[in-house]
Amino acid sequence: MGIETEELKDVAEVIIRTKDKQYVIKDAEVTIMKVQGQKTFQIVGEDKVMPLDQAPMSRETKSAPVQTAIPEEDVQLVMSQTGTTREKAVDALKACDGQPAEAIIRLISS
């Protein structure tokens, strides 16, 4: 019937963007199935969903530098645990490579 499958090896992440959200699937298992010239991608893994305005821009768009995306739930966690502003929470997360626990410790100890 002309069905071919191929498993992609060593996939670091898969990004799916909609108009207002971005789904990031790290360490994804990706299988490509080709049927009658059409490719179908099957992606297995845990995703993080974030608003598009907090997501890194692709290198192709060049409209913003590529940076580590900070999930909204991490920002909210840091804010709730430290009583700080959103801006300070985001700054602390950026300074701590997106690690909420380190950002909380940083803010509490400053």
**Domain 1-52 part of CATH 2.20.70.30:** yes
User: Which residue ranges make up each domain of the chain?
Assistant: 1-52, 70-110
Long-range CB pairs of 65-72 (<8 Å, 24+ gap) are: 67/94, 68/94, 68/97, 68/98, 69/22, 69/24, 69/98, 70/94, 70/98
Phi-psi region of 94 (alpha: psi -120 to 50; beta: other; left: phi over 0): alpha
Per-residue pLDDT tens, the chain, 110 aa: give them.
Answer: 678 999 999 888 898 888 888 888 988 999 999 998 899 999 999 988 888 766 555 444 444 444 557 888 899 999 999 999 999 999 999 888 888 999 999 999 98
Question: What class does CATH assign to 70-110?
Answer: mainly alpha
Whole-angstrom Cα distance, residue 47 to residue 87? 25
